[in-house]
Amino acid sequence: MSEIPGTAGGIVWQSSPPGSIYDYIRVASFSIGPDGLIEQWSRRAAGLFGVPAEKAVGVDPVEAFMPAELRRDGHRRVGEILDGKEWTGLVPFRIPGGDPVHGLAEIYVMPSETGTGERAALCIVVDVRALRRIETDLAASQAIFGQSPFGFVLFGTDLTVIRANQRFATVFGGQAADHRGRTVDDYLSRPEADRLTATLERVLETGASVTDLQLVGTAPGDSDNRHWSMNLYRVHSGSGRPIGIAGLATDVTRRHIAAREAASARRNLALLNEASARIGNSLDLETTARELLDVAVPGFCDLASVDLYQGLLTGDDAPPGSWDSLRQESVGGSAELRRVALASAVSDALPATSAPDTADTPALGAVHRFSYNSPCAIALRTGRVEDVPGDGRGFVQSTLAVPMVAHDTVVGLVQFSRTKGSEPFGERDRALATELAARAAVCIDNARLYRREHERALILQRSLLPPGDPVAAGLDIACRYLPGNTATEVGGDWFDVIELPGHRTALVVGDVMGRGLRAAVAMGELRTAVRTLALLDLEPAEVLSALDEVARGLGTPGGGTFSSDGFGGGTQWPSRAAHKSREADLSEVYLATCVYAVYDPVTRRCTFANAGHLPPAVVEPGEPAMLLDVPPGMPLGVGGEPFEEVEVELKEGALLALYTDGLVESRDHPLDEGLDALRGALIEPERPLEDVCDHVLTTLDTRHGEDDIALLMARIRGLSADAVGDWRLPREPRSVGRARELARGQLLAWDLGELVDTTELLVSELVTNALRYGEGEIRLRLLRDRTLVCEVWDAGLVQPRRRRARDTDEGGRGLQLVGLLSVAWGSRRTPRGKTVWFELALPDGEPAAERTVEQLLSMF
């Protein structure tokens, strides 16, 4: 029973609830009468010893419950007790029965008297095993509260602190006893306290335990936030009655910091992985800068900008200037930079960060400078990360100016900024910013190098291929070139369209074995040689023979071989250096294939010569495509074999295709299949020639990237009969006048009256020279196409040579007059002699320019 104050000031008696101390220690009592036999037997005794009262009363306790070996001593003790002596001690006992149970009891014996004055005894018995358990539990409880390295706190059912251990008190100050009666509001801020209170109420109500409840607060005398992990569970009495809530608190501040650092490291690693995947996918400088900001914002910062040196963007290969005093005085700051990328994750933020040294934030695309002493300029100058002060408005709290360094060269600057409310940049962030900027810098530098090489390759390609759309008399021309090496965009394939005298046209397609710049250089030399030989107006076979000698000389220090006539017609003396070079390094031997064709629009006849190249394809109106049977010959550079010529007459509107092997051959498609595919693609020759070219490239496999592709297509448009004037003149003096009359009449018929006087004068000079220095019959021919061409033929082999006449010379001024009044003039060998020709531009309606005094005097 316990007493508590009543509401009326009296004493109220109240029964103890189940689970009192007596339930835990198992206390029992019985009495011994004067005769030494059990006189009274309590219910707790019956529960402790397992013997009901009807069997225990009247029984000698020593004989009934003590082991046989202890009974003699037990009778002696009972006698002493009945003589009035108190005794306390441990007594082994056994519970009788078929399978006796042994135990140990602590007995407190107090002498007593009966109503008649006889001596008796009252015995109080405690189960020692229960006491030992309680002792162990108390020790464990004391260990938890007193010796545990963790903070332990016990809340009562009113959620006030009943007990706390010293570890808990060490964190929050004072002694453990000082914390009794406190609430969670005394330890945590209001939001955290409310959250813990709600959790305590839920645990007390439901009995469900809560583990790893994360709480944030501050300890007395420490302004830094600390993190605790708390485990809560409801505590019960022995009868199961809730008596409070136990909490075990662990300081996990270090673990939280480590977890935050680990999370930051994982975030940084993920950011670097993302940067590796997203930055550098393009070889464009501005695109790479935008890719960097796409990765950094908002995953790393709130604002960012990228500035690149203006010289890098404009193609200037010179490195950024030095930062000396002269430069500071001359330009007042850094070299010019252009803002190429901006990014912001904050809606009301500035478009990008800017150092406080500039009056305005540079806009996207703006060219600007940083002042010499600004953090941004220092970062550019030193190549180290610099901290930039805030923007002065309290919006940006932390900015890093990170130089973009690639191959020990600073190419630009990236600024990362975080606004108020974000975590300031730390050392890990500086390292990450440096890594991001370095990766982007390498990609930007690679893009710069690619742009430079690409531009050089394009310049080289344009210099090696015909400029624009080639134009030729009597031909419609279309061409395509696809490099097999997309990195350099040049290779060993080439084509050319060369205008020859008499409105004739040379069509050339060649392929130097190999790829890349080496093949392109060799191709350039061969192409130059072809154009030079073509201007000599040699026959196609002679051109290839001379070109073969040039190819054999490529890659040798001596420049190749020499011949007595310069065109493969005499004895050759290869240099010793050339022999040694070929023997020492066979990789320097250049081989090439080439097909050379000369087309005459007057006769529509085309003469082919082939040096190991694929045969030309021809499509005539109404007929399927076919491959011309042109003897292939040996590739250029092999030598020792002559080349053959084949002359073919082509129909009006026919389609001629010259190509390289990259168009019709690849690893997946053999040559025969490719040629069949080409013939199948050359259909509908009447379509526009550009469309036919595109159709061929679309139909065939041109994306294999294994070899260069060159395609030259020509549609035959012969000169009409009314565009040609052709006469034969006898070898006599009056033929000069007859030639003038024929030329005048033909020009008037063509409505070219403005050219009559000049043409008559020049025709008279050429026919006179043919009479004076030539042989055989004279032939006069006029051709009108884009220009007017006049040709004078004779059987003589002596080529005219222009010379400067001296003041005393009576002749030698005729060819000077021809050269001055014509657009071009020249002579060429023919199978039966020679042809001397000149060319005049057709009138365009503008008045002809007057000759200068010097030009007029140079005629005489």
pLDDT tens for residues 817-827? Answer: 888 888 889 88
pLDDT reported for residue 390: 73
Query: Residue 472 has what DSSP assignment?
Result: B
Q: What would the two tokens of residue 21 be?
A: 């101390």
Coil vs helix vs strand at 129:
helix
Q: How confident is the model at residue 789 (pLDDT cuts 50, 70, 90)?
A: very high
pLDDT reported for residue 320: 53
| Residue 62: other Cβ atoms inside 10 A | 20
For residue 615, the one-letter residue type is: P
Cα–Cα distance for residue pair 677/554, rounded to 1 Å: 35
Cα–Cα distance for residue pair 313/445, rounded to 1 Å: 11
Instruction: Lowest mean pLDDT of 6-15, 151-160, 596-605, name the range.
Output: 6-15
Q: How confident is the model at residue 144 (pLDDT cuts 50, 70, 90)?
A: low
- pLDDT digit string (tens) for 738-783? 999 999 999 999 999 899 999 999 999 999 888 888 888 899 999 9
Cα–Cα distance for residue pair 230/73, rounded to 1 Å: 57
Q: What would the two tokens of residue 145 be?
A: 């509260």
Cα–Cα distance for residue pair 581/494, rounded to 1 Å: 27
State mean pLDDT over 233-257.
85
- pLDDT digit string (tens) for 547-572? 998 888 775 554 444 443 444 443 34
* Contact of 827 with 835, CB cutoff 8 Å: yes
pLDDT reported for residue 97: 58
C-alpha pair distances (Å), 119 with each of 222, 656, 834: 71, 147, 170
Q: Is the pLDDT of residue 392 over 60?
A: no
Burial class (CB in 10 A: 0-12, 13-18, 19+), 513: middle
Q: What would the two tokens of residue 265 be?
A: 């490291």
Q: Do domains 13-132 and 722-857 have the same CATH topology?
A: no
- pLDDT digit string (tens) for 724-738? 999 999 999 898 999
Say which residue, 133 or 582, is predicted with more confidence.
133
Overall residue count recorded for the chain in this entry: 860
Q: Is the pLDDT of residue 842 over 60?
A: yes
Q: Is the pLDDT of residue 577 over 90?
A: no
pLDDT reported for residue 800: 82
Cα–Cα distance for residue pair 38/264, rounded to 1 Å: 79
DSSP 586-618: GGG---EEEEEEEEETTTTEEEEEEESPPPPEE
Q: What percent of the chain has pLDDT over 70?
A: 81
State mean pLDDT over 512-527.
79
Q: How confident is the model at residue 384 (pLDDT cuts 50, 70, 90)?
A: very high
* Contact of 715 with 473, CB cutoff 8 Å: no
Burial 563-598 (b: 16+ CB within 10 A, else e): eeeebbeeeeeebeebeebeeeeeeebbbbbbbbbb
Burial class (CB in 10 A: 0-12, 13-18, 19+), 321: middle
Cα–Cα distance for residue pair 87/814, rounded to 1 Å: 163
* Contact of 779 with 751, CB cutoff 8 Å: no
Strands, sheet with 337-344, edge to edge from the N-terminal-most edge strand: 367-368, 337-344, 303-309, 409-419, 396-406, 386-388
pLDDT reported for residue 542: 92
Q: How confident is the model at residue 353 (pLDDT cuts 50, 70, 90)?
A: very low
| CA nearest neighbour of 340 among 381, 288, 409 | 288
State mean pLDDT over 147-158.
84
CATH architecture classification, 465-554+590-716: 4-Layer Sandwich (3.60)
Coil vs helix vs strand at 739:
helix
Sign of the alpha-carbon dihedral angle for 435, 436, 439, 440: negative
Instruction: Lowest mean pLDDT of 300-304, 433-437, 632-636, 811-815, name the range.
Output: 811-815
C-alpha pair distances (Å), 147 with each of 140, 142, 150, 173, 174: 9, 7, 9, 17, 17
Question: How many H-runs (helices) and E-runs (strands) does the chain carry?
Answer: 23, 33
pLDDT reported for residue 13: 61
Q: Is the pLDDT of residue 343 over 80?
A: yes
pLDDT reported for residue 563: 44
CATH of 13-132 among 3.30.1240.10, 3.40.50.300, 3.30.465.10, 3.30.450.20: 3.30.450.20
pLDDT reported for residue 638: 86
Q: Is the pLDDT of residue 3 over 50?
A: no
For residue 131, the one-letter residue type is: L
Provide the CATH topology of domain 260-455.
Beta-Lactamase (3.30.450)
Cα–Cα distance for residue pair 786/568, rounded to 1 Å: 35
How many Å is the Cα radius of gyration of the chain?
56
pLDDT reported for residue 808: 55
C-alpha pair distances (Å), 473 with each of 318, 498, 499, 500, 597: 47, 11, 8, 10, 15
pLDDT reported for residue 585: 45
pLDDT reported for residue 117: 84
pLDDT reported for residue 648: 93
Cα–Cα distance for residue pair 153/562, rounded to 1 Å: 107
Q: What would the two tokens of residue 847 be?
A: 């008045």
Q: What percent of the chain has pLDDT over 90?
A: 24
| Angle of CA points 759, 821, 756, to nearest 5° | 20
- pLDDT digit string (tens) for 84-98? 888 888 888 776 655
- pLDDT digit string (tens) for 651-668? 998 999 999 988 888 777
Q: How confident is the model at residue 509 (pLDDT cuts 50, 70, 90)?
A: very high
State mean pLDDT over 326-345.
70
pLDDT reported for residue 260: 81
Query: Residue 636 has what DSSP assignment?
Result: B
| CA nearest neighbour of 561 among 641, 643, 637 | 637
What ranges do the domains of the chain cover?
A: 13-132, 148-251, 260-455, 465-554+590-716, 722-857
Q: What is the CATH number of domain 148-251?
A: 3.30.450.20
Cα–Cα distance for residue pair 61/125, rounded to 1 Å: 13
| Angle of CA points 756, 757, 762, to nearest 5° | 100
| CA nearest neighbour of 156 among 21, 232, 229, 246 | 246
Question: Which of 11-15, 85-89, 97-101, 508-512 tops mean pLDDT?
Answer: 508-512
Question: Which of 130-134, 302-306, 389-393, 719-723 tops mean pLDDT?
Answer: 302-306
Q: How confident is the model at residue 619 (pLDDT cuts 50, 70, 90)?
A: very high
| CA nearest neighbour of 163 among 240, 247, 83 | 247
3-state DSSP percent of the chain in helix, strand and coil, to 5: 35, 30, 35
pLDDT reported for residue 570: 39
CATH of 722-857 among 3.30.565.10, 3.90.1150.10, 3.40.630.30, 1.10.3720.10: 3.30.565.10
* Contact of 598 with 504, CB cutoff 8 Å: yes
Q: Is the pLDDT of residue 8 over 60?
A: no
C-alpha pair distances (Å), 331 with each of 375, 404, 576: 17, 22, 59
Residue 341, beta-bridge partner list = 306
